[in-house]
Amino acid sequence: MADFVFADDYHLGQNSTRRFYEQFLKGYIHKHNNLMGVIQGFSSLILYDETITEEIRESAEQIQSSAKVATELNREIMGASGCGRIEIATITLEDALPYWKAKCEEICAASGVPLTLTQHENIPPVPGDAAKLGELLFHLVRNAAESAGDFPHGSVAIDLFPPGEASPGSTVDLFIRNTSASIAPDSLQRLFIPFESTKGSGHFGIGLTTAAVLAGDMGIRLGLRCADGTMTAWAAIPTAG
């Protein structure tokens, strides 16, 4: 579709180089998490001491909090770097949608925005990893909800179309729309770049990176468009068989 910016550069090859970096990153993250565990453990011991000063308690709490955030970041890095295992199977989307809908409603509620989900008829099965496809959806919805939450009447909408209804291709088309500030087309591509964020330092800035990598690993084409105060994410999912 016109005006969409696609994350085609984030389709990682299946080769020995990728396998090397998967092993490298997994090992690094494991070692790093061990260190974070030690830091959290010792900071907890300090906080159990009721005789410490308020300044020491505050410092220990900051150390413990930072170690927890570092562990969370490591978990996100696994997905953004393509280290998560993908098990391709045939997915009946109608079976997955009740859980996905409940999770998306929870994500939107956390940002204080309403969600509408419309599933059109005759959705065929698709190939993919059901857990990873759900993770892809949740990253997109979380990004949409956090953006929409900045507006007094912000909202998020999800539409799932069968092949040929929303686009001329043979894909199942998943659209996530949200209220958004205006973003120029040449800036949309930067939203996929790791650690790029328009939402401040409280965000890791790799949610859309992870979504792009997961999409590429499952043969899904992922694009973004921003027009008339609405951001749209489009995941074009191949059909099974």
**Domain layout of the chain by residue ranges:** 5-10+88-238, 16-80
What the block records as the tokens of 49 is 């001491």
Residue recorded with tokens 């959806």: 137
- As a whole-number percent, the residues of the chain with pLDDT over 70 amount to 96
Average pLDDT for residues 8-18, to the nearest whole number?
85
Q: Please give the pLDDT value at position 190.
A: 86
Query: Is pLDDT at 198 greater than 70 in this prediction?
Result: no
DSSP-based three-state secondary structure for 27: helix
Is the pLDDT assigned to residue 43 strictly greater than 80? yes
CA angle 24, 25, 29 (to 5 degrees): 120
Does 213 have pLDDT greater than 70? Answer: yes
What mean pLDDT value characterizes the chain? 90
Contact criterion met (CB below 8 Å) for 80 and 206: yes
Reported confidence tier of residue 199, pLDDT bands at 50, 70, 90: low
pLDDT, mean of residues 74-92: 86
pLDDT value of residue 140: 96
Nearest to 182 by CA among 128, 139, 141, 228: 228
Nearest to 180 by CA among 224, 119, 139, 220: 224
Task: Collect all residues with Cβ–Cβ distance below 8 Å to 65 and sequence separation of at least 6.
Answer: none
Q: Give the predicted TM-score (pTM) of the model.
A: 0.85
- State the pLDDT at residue 231: 93
> CA quadruple 77, 81, 84, 87: dihedral positive or negative?
positive
Rama region for 14: left / alpha / beta (φ>0; ψ in -120 to 50; rest): beta
The rounded distance, in Å, linking the Cα atoms of 187 and 225 is 10
* d(C-alpha 241, C-alpha 232), whole Å: 28
Does the pLDDT value for residue 125 go beyond 90? yes
The whole-number pLDDT of residue 197 equals 67
Picking from 35-49, 107-121, 177-191, which range would have the lowest pLDDT averaged per residue?
177-191
Level-2 CATH architecture, domain 5-10+88-238: 2-Layer Sandwich (3.30)
What digits encode the pLDDT tens for the residues 22-33? Answer: 889 889 999 999
